[in-house]
Structure 1
Amino acid sequence: MSETFLPELPQELWRAGELELAHGVKQFLQVMRVASAAMGRFLAEIESRGSKDLYGYGSTAAWFADVAGLSRGEAQSVVKRAIALNPTRGLDGSEVPAVAPTTGAVAAEGLIGEHRIDQILDILKRLPADTSAEDREHAEKVLANLARDAGPRQVAKAEEDILGWLDPDGNEPKDPEPKQPRREVTLERRRDGFWKLTGLLDDELGARTAAALEAYAKPRPVDEFGQADLRMKCERQGDAWAELLDLAVACPDQPGTSGYRTLVHVTIGLEELKTGIGKACLDFVGTMTARDARMAACDCLMLPVVMNAAGEPLDVGRLRRFVTPGQRRALNIRDRGCAFPGCHRKPKNCHAHHIHHWADGGPTDLRNLVLLCGFHHRLIHHGDWQVRMAADGLPEFIPPQYLDPLRRIRRNTLHRAPA
């Protein structure tokens, strides 16, 4: 057994940089996995000799539970894993081969942990009963070698491919009685102004919903400034729900909207709309900040009702200030997605932002419009970034001084080759 050294732990961990912290975690993770695999070989040897003869215990799991301070069930899982990955000997002294020897070799290198090992062992149990020893060995090698670099989803996908290869006909189909789908959705407004959405979905619709949310809830990639997406999963799914709702409302066949992105009425004072300071009344039932109303008015996610100081309506959603379908198509062709530097979002996930806000007299034409995804739309309205139209008719962005003291102009080169 090769000797394994523990990585050196910095005396003042709080001084460690991000690369040193990540390297330390990976080193200790490998040491833990190598140690676990090595301990498994000891447990397999104790199983071969017999824990009763060695220590007076009825089983290796019972002995290990006392030694490690584990419950009998926890110890049993460790021992089963050890026996599956390592060869043992029978009562007559003959060798009993390991169930998953390749997986054991990969585990000994510290490349996979107990969760991936258990996943592979579970897959091997589900192979058809008539699978030959040669095919079973090949399947285990494929799974073990894949698990070196792959995650649980890739291994699960490999299981589908292996089962399709070993049993192309699958199980004999059953024809149960069809059930009426059970789908319930409840939406209620809380006293604090938030809305609570709860539901109960049947398996098929639940899977479709999960797939749709997952597609739009992926973390944003690290941008060119090294900023990562710090949203929790629930927050990413909330933003994904908003994007899916925008796509549905923008559909030309959508009842009641005909493809316009208008959803609700926002009543706001003219001065509040110009300055972005203050409150707006949301559909006569709640409130939103004037800054959010100003951003929403860019792409008619809201239908603004602008009031003067005397409370008289000045502008009740004048549609000529909103982006027309023709302008939207032209924007999609020109920007090809979110124009913010480094953003990969497609046109269907973007809003049309007024560079010079129409509340300040900005026109609704292509020279004053730019496509931005929801995140970067908020960043432009609420942050220190600036956007302007260049001489070549394409948008360009100026970062805040804390990101770039020289405030050098940037463009998104993901959707088109740089000039």
Structure 2
Amino acid sequence: KIGDRLIAYLDPDGTLSSDTDRNRRRGITIGKQGTDGLSPISGLITPQLRAFLDPLLGKYSRPGVANPDDAASSFTDPDTVDPETLRAAAERDDRTAPQRTHDAIRALLEWGIVTDRLGSHRGLPVTCILTINVEDVENETGVATTATGGTVPIKDALALAERSRPFLAVFDHSGLPLHMGRTKRLASPAQRLALTASLRGCTRPGCDAPASMCAVHHVSEWADGGSTDIENLVLACDHCHARVDGTEQGWRTVTLGPETRYPGRVGWIAPPAWDPAQTPRVNHRHHPDRLLAEILCRQRSPVGSLRLRTPADGGAPTPSIAPPPRPQPARALHRHLFCATRSATPRGMLYRGGDDAREFCSAHR
């Protein structure tokens, strides 16, 4: 405090530490998600951001507020909660101060996402979109995948959906407005959600860009008569999308046929100068589970016909390898669970909403 007073006396105009210097040094870095699901965060914030955060954290990081481990904890304005209930929750609260700060920021962001005021990003509302395999929900195993490429444990995903007034949409082949023909060039929100569930990210081989960083690409180009139907749409990040330019130096995309190793998936063909054989290749970065299943299947092949290697192309299997059972087309719309706020609700989809959604989430926690 004495130091602050001295600085204020010596520098009443605040010129010793200039706005230019503060603005240059400001920044927040969120590191790569670890195998345990946690992500590191570090940085420096400006006095203005600190001025916003301090009163919010002072209120919502109090003991007994926004405690995810206490069902009786207040996740709304603590001033509207019965004082005795809040006092009892505070007495049970054994979180550290950093943990309370973390939970307060999470609660504030969660409330912000459901305010319907954040606009849209790449055709979808700014909200938490989770893709969950229904079989994983029933078995209470596995993880949910976010549109930004992160993962959330199943139980945490269901708890998040239960508190965020979700709509649950189970995707299958019927009842969805996924075929626009030539009536529209841009993909609909329903198509984008379906592609996020099925593809998870950019489809060019080797690219790990998540769905939130991708545009929707027509496999058969719109300019060449391609339709805006789900079978003709894939995800491609801006960098990879720009490589499909219709020239001999550009990449091409094709849908692999039933006779190939990966029927129904999109194959990317490099320029002739790179790949004279013009072999279509698929991206395994977003589907390690399917790749692992294929490798395990190869391990069960008869002795003498085993050759473990990462499959790189979409052509026919190598003759010396016993072909595994053909997987279901990756782009087929298998059953997936989407948890989204009301603001993310595209029309014409299959939903269970409100109390039904919360009951579904609670039943599988």
TM-score using structure 2 length: 0.36
Which has the bigger relative contact order, CA under 8 A and spacing at least 6? 2
Q: Which has the larger radius of gyration?
A: 1
TM-score using structure 1 length: 0.32
